[in-house]
């Protein structure tokens, strides 16, 4: 048995939250560019028939906006989004714990979160992940598609491979 993991870093975000939002970094919103990136990711997911069975998303403002824009563009029901506070600024071990709790009936999971945690998770699971033209593995709105050779609870034990990487290019 194998399962598929889609790791998505949130789209490009504004550097500071709106003046009325006192949540600091947590409250940062997507820029217009980030909204467009997120829509492109959703379109790509739909066109490649990679619709997830479930979505686990950091509860930060920018990740929530990314996940919702992806759902709209991919024509997914937003009720599949599970907001997880522990993903915000999480270490790899925290991300693995959340991943290992994924129910067995989920065959494809979309994880929407932040760097450096997501990039470190991708490398830990799949080893070599192709870099972007700028030398980054996961610039904003990068989607890494990973195949895990086993169940979610065995994520580190059974091996995994990077299937493809999508980085939206906007004109």
Phi, psi at residue 4, to the nearest 5°? -115, 135
Which residue in 65, 69, 115, 71 sits closest to 95, CA to CA? 115
Q: Residues near 2 by Cβ (< 8 Å), separated by ≥ 6?
A: 147, 148, 149, 150
Tokens of 79: 């009720």
- Write down the pTM of the prediction: 0.93
The domain ranges of the chain are 3-166
Q: 95 pLDDT exceeds 90?
A: yes
Average pLDDT value for the chain: 91
pLDDT of residue 76: 96
**Each residue of 101-110: pLDDT tens digit?**
999 999 999 9
Higher pLDDT, 20 or 160: 160
Mode of pairing for the β-strands spanning 108-113 and 54-58: parallel
Res 26: pLDDT: 77
Q: What is the pLDDT of residue 171?
A: 47
CATH fold of 3-166: Rossmann fold (3.40.50)
Non-local CB neighbours of 11 within 8 Å, separated by 6+ positions? 30, 31, 33, 34, 35, 36, 37, 38, 41, 62, 65, 66, 69, 140, 141
Question: Mind listing the pLDDT tens digit for each residue in 63-72?
Answer: 999 999 999 9
């Amino acid at each position: 048995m194998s399962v598929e993991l889609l790791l998505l870093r949130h789209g490009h975000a504004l550097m500071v939250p709106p003046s009325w939002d006192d949540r600091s970094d947590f409250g940062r919103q997507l820029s217009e560019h980030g909204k467009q990136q997120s829509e492109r990711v959703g379109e790509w997911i739909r066109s490649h028939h990679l619709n997830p069975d479930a979505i686990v998303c950091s509860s930060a403002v920018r990740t929530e906006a990314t996940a919702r824009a992806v759902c709209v563009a991919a024509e997914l029901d937003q009720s599949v989004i599970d907001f997880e506070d522990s993903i915000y600024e999480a270490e790899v071990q925290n991300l693995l714990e959340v991943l290992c709790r994924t129910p067995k009936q989920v065959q494809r999971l979309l994880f929407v979160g932040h760097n450096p945690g997501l990039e470190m998770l991708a490398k830990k699971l799949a080893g070599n992940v192709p870099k972007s033209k700028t030398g980054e593995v996961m610039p904003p709105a990068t989607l890494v598609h990973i195949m895990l050779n086993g169940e979610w609870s065995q994520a580190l034990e059974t091996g995994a491979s990077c299937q493809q990487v999508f980085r939206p290019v906007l004109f």
